Amino acid sequence: MLDPARIFAPIRRETSIALAVSGGADSLALMLLFAEWAPAEGKPRAVVYTVDHRLRPEAAEEAAMVAREAERLGLEARILVWDAPKPATGRQAAAREARYRLMGEAMAQDGSTLLLTAHHRRDQAETVLMRLAHGSGVAGLAGMAPFAEVEAVALFRPLLDTDPDALAALVEHAGLVPARDPSNFDRAYERTRWRDILPDLGRLGLTDARLAQFAGRMARIEAQAQSAARQFIAAHCHVDFLGVAHIAREAFGAADAETAIRALAVAIAAASGQDLRALAPVEAMAARLRNEPGTALTLGGAVIAPRADAILVYREAGRMDAGSLLLTPGQSGRWDNRFTVTAPARAVTVTPAALLTRERFEDLLAQPLAVPVAALHAAPVVRAEDGAILAIGSHVFEAGLSIAGPMLTAWH
């Protein structure tokens, strides 16, 4: 039985939320359940968002249907329209990005802090299967989390443990006819192909319920692994003012394999300013660093240089495409996706420090530097219009100039 009190209990203290309703059976059920929910202390204000992507002729009427039903249920509704030119390829991904952007903008206007979506148990099963096929690690196999951030939008997925057949039955009982998006049945998309074979897997015991259970167990393991990695990083890793990540060599060798892999991944992401999408290369690199002294290697736009006391991870200068960043007085900008620079009361230019020698670095900083010259050349240098050097990395020489360098944050 679908119990709104249980489903929405995690958000009972929210004050203003939004519901993403496409008009399909799942999202219509979400809307019906929210309308039925009647907590004694009152429930959050809710706005229903439905997006007309302008990709199908019937989309406008589907959006209008959602708005009518929302209003009939006593809920506010807004139709959001993606009226930008459509790409020739990758339309589904572009539509998803546009959808979240439009809803995020609407949430900011309406004061909504959380977007509810209708992802259910079968969606979770499909996600786990796809990630397993792609070689995901523990984080990926944990599937979709109930609370998450997607495209800078805070999400709550209250139906992740719910059978979609129960949602469809609820919509049918309410006398509603859900919209049918043909793309959900198009085998050109990977998710559709997995959806089509789920019944066969279910007959072998690999049901969507079993896969969702597996995802929940992976989520518990992921939480423990993240906690261990955060503790290791806090104790044994840091990023210096040049953007070079340092990992204590002895501690890295003594750590369990999962913690070492995560610490290395975090260091590479921080030093390179790039997202690491593939786990296998990081696993191989961590094993190599732990088992062989080795020489400097590269991965993900970063150089990994083992030393006696530390593993240095720094930006691979040859992979940088950061040019000059021009900032007017007081303006902020991001350079090489690693350093955030806020100009002082005069204009500045941020460029790679590629032309400075080690001697010039040490003269400006009045201290010796123990990192490779290649790491120095990947750091930013900030100059005034007259060419005077105002900062190297996040080390500033002028009041009013602010620079924030890379940080070691959790990797998924």
Annotated binding site for ATP: 22-27
The residue type at 43: K
What b-and-e string marks burial along 248-264, b requiring 16 or more CB atoms within 10 Å of the CB? bbebbeebeebbbbbbb
Q: Kindly state the helix (H) or strand (E) to which residue 241 belongs, with its residue range.
A: none
Could you tell me the two tokens for 106? Answer: 């609407």
Residue 261 near residue 236, CB atoms below 8 Å: no
* 244 C-beta neighbours (distance < 10 Å), count: 30
32 to 52, 167, 168, 190, 374: CA distances (angstroms): 21, 10, 11, 30, 60
Q: Residue 204 and residue 176: Cα distance in Å, rounded? A: 34
The residue type at 398: E
Q: Residue 67 and residue 371: Cα distance in Å, rounded? A: 60
| DSSP collapsed to 3 states, 325-367 | EEECCCCEEEECCCEEEECCCCCEEEEECCCCCHHHHHHHHCC
- Cross-strand partners of 47: 18, 76
The residue type at 129: L
Q: What is the dihedral of CA 93, 412, 372, 388, to 10 degrees?
A: 60
Could you tell me the two tokens for 16? Answer: 């203003």
End-to-end CA distance of the chain: 34
Tokens 């489903």, residue?
7
Residues forming the annotated binding site?
22-27
Q: What is the largest CA-CA distance in the chain?
A: 78
Tokens 């897997």, residue?
201
